[in-house]
C-alpha cells in the first residue's frame, strides 16, 4: 500500500510547490482611473489594447475565466490554479502548450524587462520565504495582470501593489507578436 501511495503523494507535493506559495493580498482594490480598462455591461473588466488576433483571442479567454474560483491543480471553469489558468488560456487562444508549473513556465520564451512588458507576456512572482518562482499571471497592460489568486480566484491585479511588487521575479514572452 505504501509503495503505491508514496509516488502519488510526491507528485502531488511537487505540483503544489509550483503555484501555491503566493497568497494574494486581501486588500486588493481595482483602479477606477485606468485608461485601458473599463467595465462592460456584464461588469467584467475589459481591455482596449489587445491589437493582434492572438492578443484578442488571449483577451477573450482571460475574460471568460474571470471570477472562476481557485482550485489547486485545476484547469477548468470549475476551478483552476495560476499555472492552470495560464496554460488553458494559451492553449485555447494560441494553441500553445505550456507546462502546468509556474517554475517550468519561467524557463520558456524570451526574458522581458518590466519596462518592455506587452499584452500577453507572462509575469512571475516568488515566495519570499522559500525563494524561487511560485506564481504566474498574464500581463494585460497598464501595469495589470490576470491570474488565479488563491483567495479570490481568477482576477485582475496591479503590478504596482506592494504585495506583488516585492515578489516580482521577472517576465517572459512566449507568444509571437
Among 19, 37, 100, 147, which one carries the catalytic annotation? 147
Distance, CA of 56 to CA of 53 (rounded, Å): 5
Range 158-161, long-range pairs (CB < 8 A, 24+ positions): 158/31, 159/114, 159/123, 161/25, 161/28
Distance, CA of 164 to CA of 28 (rounded, Å): 11
Q: Please give the pLDDT value at position 175.
A: 84
- pTM score of the predicted model: 0.75
Among 37, 100, 135, 175, which one carries the catalytic annotation? 135
CATH fold for domain 2-20+45-173: endopeptidase fold (from Nostoc punctiforme) (3.90.1720)
| Annotated catalytic residue 135 | yes
Distance, CA of 81 to CA of 173 (rounded, Å): 20
Mean pLDDT of 135-159: 97
Among 37, 82, 100, 175, which one carries the catalytic annotation? 82
Binned at pLDDT 50, 70 and 90, residue 52 comes out as confident
| Annotated catalytic residue 82 | yes
Map out the domains of the chain as residue ranges: 2-20+45-173
Q: How confident is the model over 70-117, as pLDDT tens digits?
A: 999 999 999 999 999 999 999 999 999 999 999 999 999 999 999 999
| Annotated catalytic residue 38 | no
Amino acid at each position: 500500500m505504501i509503495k503505491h501511495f508514496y509516488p502519488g503523494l510526491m507528485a502531488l507535493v511537487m505540483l503544489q510547490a509550483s503555484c501555491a506559495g503566493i497568497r494574494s493580498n486581501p486588500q486588493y482594490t481595482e483602479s477606477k482611473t485606468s485608461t485601458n480598462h473599463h467595465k462592460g455591461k456584464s461588469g467584467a473588466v475589459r481591455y482596449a489594447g489587445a491589437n493582434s488576433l492572438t492578443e484578442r483571442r488571449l483577451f477573450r479567454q482571460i475574460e471568460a475565466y474571470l471570477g472562476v474560483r481557485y482550485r489547486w491543480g485545476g484547469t477548468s471553469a470549475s476551478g483552476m490554479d495560476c499555472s492552470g489558468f495560464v496554460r488553458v488560456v494559451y492553449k485555447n487562444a494560441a494553441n500553445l502548450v505550456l507546462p502546468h508549473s509556474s517554475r517550468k513556465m519561467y524557463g520558456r520564451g524570451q526574458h522581458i524587462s518590466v519596462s518592455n512588458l506587452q499584452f500577453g507576456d507572462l509575469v512571475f512572482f516568488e515566495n519570499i520565504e522559500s525563494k524561487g518562482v511560485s506564481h504566474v499571471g498574464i500581463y494585460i497592460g497598464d501595469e495589470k495582470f490576470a491570474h488565479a489568486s488563491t483567495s479570490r480566484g481568477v482576477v485582475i491585479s496591479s503590478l504596482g501593489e506592494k504585495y506583488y511588487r516585492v515578489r516580482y521575479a521577472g517576465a517572459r514572452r512566449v507568444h509571437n507578436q
